[in-house]
Chains A and B, each alone.
Chain A
Amino acid sequence: MKQRDKKVLRLALYAGEIMLKNGAETYRVEDTIIRICKSCGISVVETFVTPTGMFISIDNGNTDSDTHTFIKRIKSRGIDLSKVSKINEFSRVFASTDLSIDEGMEILQGIEDTKIYPIFFRVLAAGLVASFFTLMFRGNIQDFFCAFFVGIGVYLISQLLTFVNINDFIKILLSSASAAVFALVALMFSFGEHLNPIIIGSIMILLPGVAITNAIRDSVSGDILSGVCRAIEAFLTAVSIAVGIGFVIKIWQMVIGGILS
């Protein structure tokens, strides 16, 4: 295998990996890989991308050239849309200017190393989401402040569980259970007034919005397999949230009682 081809392949693979890990749709990943390979003069590129792994085959189209295939398994997926946006931009720049492959690799490395917002801001954002959703679902001003703190607590717990590398669905289940516990405790000390808006507001952080949106967008562009994968992910996440909250409310009702109006 020629060294240059291998480098191109690794560049394309790396770009695809970052996109897929951070919540890009399937066709966008495939498109980026093909665009990068084609701009380096590789004539035959086939790629097959699913949410859990990707395959790339390249060939130079000569009668004596070999086909080379790389497989990359994707184990964990998060959401960082600014990385998706940056690589989107990178692939355009790479295709239209004559950046060398090594320079491209450096830029990609830089993109992967970009920092997300510090935990302080993200925690505040989680509080913001929870509290404003509480208002949207007819909570009053007291519930607003209560949901702010519940949201912060839920987000901190979900981050902690991410840190210990636990299964995604268990993570969601435990986080939503903690949302219910926090809300119930707050209500017990009459810190908040209405239970339902507070809980609804704080589980909004955990909802599978990305999975739903990407499931549809993948199915529309013909990637049925990825669409089904993401739809299942969304469904299981929703079930985990419901189970987490339901379990806590039921236990609370049995032990302390008197919350279901």
Chain B
Amino acid sequence: MIYQFAYGFFSTLGFTILYNIPKKHMITASFVGASGWITFQHFNIVGDSSIFACFMGSLVISFLSEFFARVCKEAVTIFVIPGILPLVPGAGMYYTMLAFLENDFTKLATTGSETILMAGSIAIAILIISSFTKIFATVRHYLASKKPAYQPTHED
């Protein structure tokens, strides 16, 4: 598991350089990516479903990104984009394509639908967390000013 954490950490670190993340956030962003990756690995072994594992991993990444974005007063994208990349089902896509080349349509259907559902589960996880943080921000704003109108801010 420590090895997996290191793999996730260094590959996300590579992405932070490619996407030119500000230097002071590089380590945090890589930490977010690595945490998501070990969550994915853990649930992959325990839960026997890579779609569910992907969902849990994305939840962790999304939550940590929103958290760090608020702590560092930065855009959430800076953490969530490099963090989510290890979970994007590149391998699934590749195996789907291999199945297609082998004319193995049963395998094509299974790996293909798994890949699409993994991408979908990432989407749903990000959606859930960012919606909840919006609700949280609205409630906090309401409590602070007793005004129901929510002004979108850059921390979202």
A residues at B contact (CB < 8 Å): 23-25, 27-28, 31-32, 79-86, 88, 91-92, 116-117, 121-122, 124-129, 132-133, 135-137, 196, 199-200, 203-205, 207-210, 212-217, 219-221, 238, 241-242, 245-246, 249-250, 253, 260
Q: Are B94 and A203 in contact (CB under 8 A)?
A: yes
**Interface SS, A side:** helix
Mark contacts of B1-28 with chain A using CB atoms, 8 A cut-off: 1 yes-contact digit, 0 otherwise: 0011001101101110111111001000
B148 at interface by CB-CB < 8 Å? no
Q: Are B18 and A205 in contact (CB under 8 A)?
A: yes
Give the shortest distance, in Å, between A150 (CB) and chain B (any CB): 14
Q: How far is the CA of A16 from the CA of B4 in the complex (A)?
A: 39
With A209-B85, A212-B84 in contact, is A84–B18 under 8 Å at CB? Answer: no
Q: Are B101 and A246 in contact (CB under 8 A)?
A: yes
Give the shortest distance, in Å, between B115 (CB) and chain A (any CB): 9
Q: How far is the CA of A25 from the CA of B98 in the complex (A)?
A: 34
Q: Are B84 and A88 in contact (CB under 8 A)?
A: no
**Contact residues of B between 109 and 156, Cβ < 8 Å to A:** 119, 122-123, 126-127, 130-131, 134, 152-154, 156
Give the shortest distance, in Å, between A260 (CB) and chain B (any CB): 6
Q: Are A204 and B90 in contact (CB under 8 A)?
A: yes
Q: Are A125 and B14 in contact (CB under 8 A)?
A: yes
Q: Are A84 and B100 in contact (CB under 8 A)?
A: no
